[in-house]
Structure 1
């Protein structure tokens, strides 16, 4: 079976290695997952480090290896929380009987067991142990608990073991595990496309990131937008079957797979590109970009030299891109965004009406845990009155999850209309 590896480049896999001779297979597993295009980080227990070194996994994964529960280099020392949020899948291979017992009974005395409790990502375990330890009633009881809790248990293979015994307990081959992971994400991708089927064949244009308004050749006016929300939406729309064009301000993000990207700098450039895309045909226009409200009236030809204690710069108002697009005769389904620091919902509801939008998503960027520069977000979605749809509160989640929920909201609104 062949796979489209472009699906995997945005997927994050944690490979957790526990103590056991099968740990050497985990090095090959990491390499195979990287071959498929996954982003891989490795977590090692103390026992695992007795069989194979962290340096090996660092070289294979291209990322630092995580071994400590309280990581002084992580944000607030909470490495397990950062990893828990980062992961799209946690694969424990090999999974020792001790680790299975910890998982089953909610113990949290090391990085891996704490990560297990902290993550919302699916957890897969590939047990590897002596055949008698595998058959032990306590191990089987723990496995039953894990299955009931939603953990996916990959059955061990049978054969000769390092200790000389023969029976169940061998970790499956790395190639087999990597292919299972690949198949899983293809199934997720297909399910997502089916769930958001209304976007199949739709042409979507998304603006993302900040704009930069030049003062002189080296200085500009801008804002803190990173473009993460817009790029997540581009990925989600593409996964939903849409043809996506992303008009991006100056950001340091990779282009989502399957998405056509056009880079711009200023608000005027972003508007120009948006109008061209509209003329070429657009079903849905999503304005996530944080466009500068004003630009410099006269950009200096050369760098302005420091002189005196004050510098006066005349600003003129930039065009409102989303409102301009909404007024065009070939008007697409219009989605706006409102990033506010106070009275968030009332401001958003006002913009929805004033700019003649079909839908608007708003968030409070004064919160330090969501919004600009964060990988998390939380939003409230309003719909135009003629859609007769109640507002939707999207609880705090990763921006990719929020993007998928926004795609669902767009699809529902288009169906209602």
Structure 2
């Protein structure tokens, strides 16, 4: 069975492969949430085909009837190989646990290090499930807003950590790295400062690093795994091939413990490892081991798209403030100067038939903003911005969005 191009052969930009009619045949959330006249650039699904090494591995498993329960060993080994190649990070296999996906893994780790009514600190604006999953777990959310430069604010973190620990409560810091929705890639110095502040205040750091592979070269930014910085030994990280290879429907992820938290990770209930899909784990292992050329082609395409988006907005929607993100395939659009109110995504949908994620859902600092997923073809991206510009022209003017 073919495993794709021979080693060393170039891989075409996967964002240019599916046509819009082909994409509309998909039945995932992205393509079924809205009517077919809407361009969906909201949820974090990419408009790519499956990387051939991943497709080949899943086909082989199905042909063999290899559809039983997942095991952690192959995933831990594949992640270790990938992390060493890409980030020079050596991950001991005995500090890795298999979890259903990153968010459910975060929930299980939060159960280990916090209790009911304890607090979890987040950097708003941030991925909405950070709020929903944390609150559903019975923990309080305390915001430490990003600075105006969309970077970690040490003063805000110190204040939030102190508030979280008030009254003797245990506390955790849910770190989004790289950051969703802003695309900020935290530096080694920033992360070391996080570790120092967490140690000072007795706060446990849980890093969501699902977007870690999605930092294009040539940006000046580089993903730094949280557990590699000085003082991070009491932390945890959650990782998955899900975002980088578009595998959300093939569930699998891992939790990695710092050297001082391995004992706690060992307390993770055995039944948690029953949640991941075996086919998902097979797909993720194939992506990490054999999907490097595909990922590199994707990163080049994403780099083109994030810059194309900047040019399109400057030409057609100059009222939108846009900073080219260093990582992820997500753009955080400041639309407050457009005069369309606190929820510009609603205006783009109603008047332009383009679906973006509403900034309001991302917590403090989200009003007047919208998140756009640019992991699509240049043609779809161009049409989307044209529609957004037309929507602003057609929409009644409303009070400027709150900062």
**What is the TM-score of this pair, normalised by structure 2?**
0.31
Larger Rg: 1
Higher helix share: 2
Higher strand share: 1
**What is the TM-score of this pair, normalised by structure 1?**
0.30
